[in-house]
Structure 1
Amino acid sequence: MWLLPRTHFPSSSSSSSSGSLCRALAIFSFLLFAVSLFASPTAASRGDRLPEFKDCVQGCKERNCLSEKTPLPLHLRLLLWNCPSECDYACQRSVTASRAANGQSTEQFHGKWPFKRLWGIQEPFSVLFSILNGYVHYAGLKSLKRELPRSYPLYPYYRLFSIFGMFCWFWSTVFHMRDFVFTERMDYFAAGANVLYGLYLAPIRIFRLYRSTYARALRIWGIVCIASYTAHAYFLLGIRWDYTYNMAANVVVGSITNTLWTYWSIRHYTRLKSFWAAWPGLIVMWLIMAMSLELLDFPPLAGALDAHSLWHAATILPGMWWYKYVATLTLPPSFSYSFPSFIP
C-alpha cells in the first residue's frame, strides 16, 4: 500500500486553524444574517397565482389573524410559525388536496412543493437526510482526530474538510426545517463553501502541494480560492441573487473537482492494480448519478419524499466511503473506522 511521506505537522497548529475557521464561519453567519434582514423573498410559482389559493389565504387571515388571533401550538411557535404563515400552509394543503380529488396537477407554492410538515418541520425527509449527512462528517472527524497521526501532512486539510461538511449540512438541515430568506442564503453559501473547499483540497492531495517545496504555490492556490468565493458571495449579495448562476458556479467547481479525482483514480489504478485506488473515481460516479435526481423533479410522494430529498439520501453512503478511503490511504492497518463495514 502506498503511504504518504511522513513529515512533522504539530497538532496544536491544526487545532488552532480549525478553531479559527469555526470562529470565522460563525462571524460569516452573523454578517450574512445582518444583510438578510434587508432582503425579502421573491420566489413565486403558479400555485401562488391560483384564485382559490388567494381566496383561501385571505379568508383564513380575516378569520384567524386580525383582532382575536388563533393561538398556535408551542412547537409551531418555536419554529417561528405565525398566523399568516399557518394560513398559507393550511391553504396549500387544502388546495392541493382539492386539485388531486379533481384530477388536476400538483402545483408549487413560493418555489417549493406543498410538503406535509412534521412537528412544524417543512421538509421532514430532507431534514432527516441532511442530519445523517452531517453525522457522516462528524463521525469522520472524530475518527480521524482519534486515529490519524498528527505527523501526516494532510491531517489538517482532512479535518477542515469535515468541518466544512458539517457546516454545509447544518445549514441544509435548518433551511429544510424552515424556509426563510436567511436560512436559504445560509444553505446556499454553506453548500458553495463546501464545494469550493473540495476543489481546494483535491490539488493539494493529488499534486502533493502540502510539500514544503510547493509552499508558494499552495499560498497562491489558497488566495485564488478565497478570492473566488468572495467574488461569488459579493455577486449574489451585492449585485443580483441569481439561482441559475449559483447552480452553474457550483456545477463547474464540482465538475473540476470530480475530473481531478477521476484522473487520480485512473492513474493510480493503472499503476497499482489495486481496487482501493479506484475508489475516488467510483465515488465521483455515484455522486454524479445522485445529482441526476435533481433533474427528475416531481411532486413529493405521499406529500413528503421528493427528488431533492432523495438526492440528499443518496449522498450519505459516498460520504462514508470517502472517509474509509482516506483511512485506507493514509492510516496503518490497525485503524478502525466507526461506520459499518459493509462499505467495500
Structure 2
Amino acid sequence: MGIRLVVALLSCLVGVLIEASAGDSHPRYQVCVEQCKETGCVKDKLAVDGPWYVQEPLYLQWDCQSNCRYHCMLKTENEREVLGTGPVKYHGKWPFKRVLGIQEPVSVAFSLLNLAMQFHGWLSFFILLYHKLPLRPQTRKPYYEYAGLWLMYGFLAMNSWVWSAVFHSRDVDLTEKLDYSSAVALLGYSLILAILRTFNVRDEAARVMVAAPLIAFVTTHILYLNLFKLDYGLNMIVCVAMGIAQLLLWVVWAGVTRHPSKWKLWAVVLATSLAMLLEIYDFPPYKGYVDAHALWHATTIPITYLWWSFIKDDAKFRTTDSVKKVK
C-alpha cells in the first residue's frame, strides 16, 4: 500500500479541482492581468527599460502570463485584506507566496523530506537483505521472495516524490504531466505488488500473468494522458479504482494473516486515514505559505518510516521461515 500510494491517489484527484475559482473570476483581477500582459505594469511594479517580469533574476523568472497572474493575485488579495475579507482561490489554487521563485515552498520542502525518508527506507531495506539476513548459499541472493519487487517499489516511490517536489515548485503543463504520470505508475505497480504479496504469488510465470495486463493498462493510460488528452475525470476514475483495490487487499490480508507485524500495517492504515482529514479540511495557506496540503505532506514522513519498517519486518519473517524449511 504505502503512504506515497495515497499521495499519488490524491495527486490524481487534484486536477478535477483546477477550474474557474472565485479569485480569477473577479473582474478586478482579470483587468489587472490583461493590463499587465500589455504594459508590464502591476501596481507599483512599473516597466523600466522593458517589462518588470524580464528584469528579475533568471532563477526567479516565470513566463509572462504566470508572473502577471501571480502579482495580480497578490494585489487582489491585499485589497481583500484591507476590506476584511478572507483569501479565495485563483485557478483552483490558494494564493501562495513564492520563495526564490518556488510556487509552494513548504510543500516542496516536505516533498523532499519524504523523498529522503523513502531513500532511507529503501537503503536500510537493501542493507538488511544483503548484509544482515542470510543469503542463499548457491546464488548469494536473498531468501525473501519479494526483495526485488520492494526494491523497485522504492525507486518508483522516490521518483514520484521527486516530481511532486518539481510540480509544487512550478505548476506548468510539463511538470503536471510528469507528476501525474509518476503517480499513476506508482499506483499501478503498487497494485501489482499488493496482489503478489497478499496472495503469496511466488511462481515467476504466475507473476508475469498478473503483472502483464496491469502494466499494459497503466502504460496505455499514461500515454493517453501525455500524448492525447490530460483527462482529469478519466484519470480520477483510474486512480481511485487502483487505489481502492489495493487498499482493500492489504486491509483484508491484515485481518486474516498471522504476521507478527500486522499491527504496523493497521497503524499505517489508521494514521493515513486520520492524516487525510487534512485534505478534507482544506484551508488557505497561513501567511501565504502553510496550507492543509503542506501539513498533510508533513504527516506522511513518519508514516513512511512505519511502512518501510513493516516491509523490513516482512523480510525478516519470511527469511526466517524459509531458512527453517531449508534446514
Q: Give the TM bin, normalised by the shorter chain.
A: 0.7 to 0.9
Structure 2 residue runs without a partner (length 5+): 1-17, 42-46, 131-140, 318-327
Q: How does 1:69-84 map to 2 (within 5 A)?
A: 69-70=51-52, 71-74=54-57, 77-78=58-59, 80-84=61-65
Determine whether 1:101 maps to 2:73. no
Q: Which residue of 1 aligns with 2:162?
A: 170
Task: State how far apart, in whole Å, the 2-side matches of 1:229 and 1:187 are.
Answer: 15
Count residues with an aligned counterpart: 282
Q: Which residue of 2 aligns with 1:51?
A: 27
State the identity as a percent: 35
Task: State how far apart, in whole Å, the 1-side matches of 2:93 and 2:48 are.
Answer: 27
Q: How does 1:107-146 map to 2 (within 5 A)?
A: 107-146=88-127
CA 1:296 to 1:196, structure 2 compared with 1: closer, same or farther past 3 Å?
Answer: same
Q: Is contact 2:23–2:88 with CA below 8 Å preserved after alignment?
A: yes
Q: What TM-score do you get using the length of structure 1 for normalisation?
A: 0.75
For the residue of structure 1 that corresponds to 2:272, the secondary structure is helix
Cα offset, 1:107, TM superposition: 2.0
For the residue of structure 2 that corresponds to 1:148, the secondary structure is helix
Task: State how far apart, in whole Å, the 1-side matches of 2:147 and 2:233 are.
Answer: 35
AA aligned opposite 2:210: W
Q: How does 1:1-344 map to 2 (within 5 A)?
A: 43-61=19-37, 62-64=39-41, 68-70=50-52, 71-74=54-57, 77-78=58-59, 80-149=61-130, 150-151=141-142, 152-209=144-201, 211-212=202-203, 215-237=204-226, 240-268=229-257, 271=258, 274=260, 276-331=261-316
Q: What TM-score do you get using the length of structure 2 for normalisation?
A: 0.79
Task: State how far apart, in whole Å, the 2-side matches of 1:313 and 1:298 are.
Answer: 16
Greater relative contact order: 1 or 2 (C-alpha under 8 angstroms, separation 6 or more)?
A: 2
CA 1:290 to 1:123, structure 2 compared with 1: closer, same or farther past 3 Å?
Answer: same
What RMSD, in angstroms, separates the aligned Cα atoms of the two structures? 2.3
Q: Is contact 1:72–1:82 with CA below 8 Å preserved after alignment?
A: no
Task: State how far apart, in whole Å, the 2-side matches of 1:238 and 1:69 are.
Answer: 34
CA 1:85 to 1:300, structure 2 compared with 1: closer, same or farther past 3 Å?
Answer: same
AA aligned opposite 1:113: W
For the residue of structure 1 that corresponds to 2:285, the secondary structure is coil
AA aligned opposite 1:52: R
CA deviations 1:31-82 (Å, max 9, x no partner) are: xxxxxxxxxxx954332221211222233341446972334332xx225424
CA 1:279 to 1:63, structure 2 compared with 1: closer, same or farther past 3 Å?
Answer: closer
Q: Which residue of 2 aligns with 1:342?
A: none
AA aligned opposite 2:160: C
CA 1:84 to 1:67, structure 2 compared with 1: closer, same or farther past 3 Å?
Answer: farther
CA deviations 1:161-200 (Å, max 9, x no partner) are: 1100011000000000001001011111111111221111
Cα offset, 1:92, TM superposition: 0.6
Structure 1 residue runs without a partner (length 5+): 1-41, 333-344
CA deviations 1:206-264 (Å, max 9, x no partner) are: 2221x23xx22211111121122123224434554232332332222111111111122
